[in-house]
């Protein structure tokens, strides 16, 4: 992003040269960049097949796109701050946060899809809302395989799936349960 702000086009990067690109990165105290990456960037810029027509218009358009990107990035940060503050108003949020491997974004997605969890009398109702209710494929003498119904909220299934993957990776108890059922 720093290079794009100062040298938006490949011809500008070539004018900066390896030392110019490396100086920008050193001044910003970036890690994992140096002369080797600067050489690669300048080399690729020299062999670029981009349009050579109307470079001033292209520079202006890239500057506009970069400012839009920064604006949306700032909005996203503000939104994430709001998302992290709002759930603290929910009385049972601390119980959900105690689960190791479940983060605030997962909890927000769950609450957005489910609403107040206290309105459910038993877990089967929540299971049905997500479309995870087991249905059998039976008719007369035919006994088919059982599968989930998929008749619930697709986004809730997605949030629960992502939460399960996170729990398996970060929570030892859930990892053991997963291993037990897999083997």
pLDDT mean across residues, the chain: 87
pLDDT bin (cut points 50, 70, 90) of residue 155 is very high
Which pLDDT score is estimated for 83?
Answer: 78
3-state DSSP assignment of residue 15: helix
Ranges of beta strands (E only) in the chain are: 134-139, 142-148
Contact yes or no for 113/153 (Cβ under 8 A): yes
Per-residue pLDDT of 61-99, as tens digits, reads 989 999 999 999 999 999 888 877 888 788 888 888 888
Per-residue pLDDT of 21-43, as tens digits, reads 888 888 877 777 778 888 888 89
Which pLDDT score is estimated for 165?
Answer: 93
Residue 9 has pLDDT above 80, yes or no: yes
Contact yes or no for 55/31 (Cβ under 8 A): no
How far, in Å, CA of 177 to CA of 66, rounded?
Answer: 47
- What average pLDDT does the segment 118-141 reach? 88
Burial class of 7 by CB neighbour count within 10 A (0 to 12, 13 to 18, 19+)? buried
Give the phi and the psi of residue 34 in degrees, each rounded to 5.
-170, -155
Which has more pLDDT, 50 or 167? 167
- What average pLDDT does the segment 42-55 reach? 82
- What average pLDDT does the segment 124-146 reach? 87
pLDDT bin (cut points 50, 70, 90) of residue 158 is very high
DSSP H helices, 86-153, are 93-97, 104-114, 123-130
Contact yes or no for 107/166 (Cβ under 8 A): no
**pTM of the predicted model as reported, rounded to 2 decimal places:** 0.60
How far, in Å, CA of 74 to CA of 38, rounded?
Answer: 28
Contact yes or no for 113/163 (Cβ under 8 A): no
Residue 4 has pLDDT above 90, yes or no: no
């Amino acid at each position: 992003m720093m290079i794009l702000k100062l040298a938006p086009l490949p011809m500008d990067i070539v004018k900066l040269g390896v030392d110019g690109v490396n100086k920008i990165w050193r001044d910003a105290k970036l890690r994992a960049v140096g002369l080797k990456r600067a050489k690669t960037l300048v080399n690729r810029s020299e062999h670029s097949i981009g349009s050579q027509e109307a470079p001033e218009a292209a520079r202006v358009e890239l500057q506009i796109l970069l400012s839009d990107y920064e604006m949306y990035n700032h909005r996203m940060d503000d939104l994430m701050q709001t998302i992290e503050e709002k759930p603290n108003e929910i009385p049972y949020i601390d119980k959900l946060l105690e689960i190791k491997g479940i983060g605030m974004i997962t909890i927000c997605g769950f609450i957005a899809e489910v609403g107040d969890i206290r309105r459910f009398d038993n877990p089967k109702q929540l299971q049905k809302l997500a479309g995870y209710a087991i249905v059998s494929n039976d008719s007369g003498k035919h006994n088919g395989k059982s599968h989930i119904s998929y008749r619930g909220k697709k986004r809730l299934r997605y949030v629960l799936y992502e939460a399960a993957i996170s729990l398996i990776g970060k929570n030892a108890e859930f990892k053991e349960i997963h291993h037990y059922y897999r083997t």
